[in-house]
């Protein structure tokens, strides 16, 4: 049975969550959250909460963060908001 894309993403989020539990937030994680992937872009957290972000997407991020901050961090580190 083929693995769906959503299963792959959930597996990646789970791995990231376990790594965060074991090792905490690394410098590499901090760079992912803070720094833009390319010149002229904004960092991941800045992009998530920016005014340009669609309200539906922002609502989803809020729901995840309100449910579990640890899961939110794993989600943001695993899935690019773009």
Instruction: Look at the chain and report how many structural domains it folds into.
Output: 1
Question: Residues 1-30: pLDDT tens digits?
Answer: 567 888 999 999 999 999 999 999 999 999
The confidence score (pLDDT) of residue 2 equals 65
| Helix, strand or coil, per DSSP, at residue 18 | helix
Question: Residues 29-53: pLDDT tens digits?
Answer: 998 888 776 777 778 888 887 776 6
Going from the C-alpha of 62 to that of each of 4, 5, 37, 48, 57, the distances in angstroms are 26, 23, 23, 10, 9
The confidence score (pLDDT) of residue 43 equals 80
- Identify the domain containing residue 30 by its residue range: 5-78
Q: What is the pTM of this model?
A: 0.74
């Amino acid at each position: 049975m083929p693995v769906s894309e959503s299963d792959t993403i959930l597996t990646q989020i789970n791995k990231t969550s376990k790594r965060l539990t074991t090792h905490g937030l690394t410098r590499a994680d901090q760079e992912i959250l803070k720094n833009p992937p390319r010149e002229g872009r904004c960092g991941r957290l800045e992009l998530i909460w920016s005014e340009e972000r669609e309200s539906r997407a922002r609502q989803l991020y809020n729901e995840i963060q309100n449910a579990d901050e640890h899961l939110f961090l794993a989600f943001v580190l695993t899935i690019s908001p773009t």
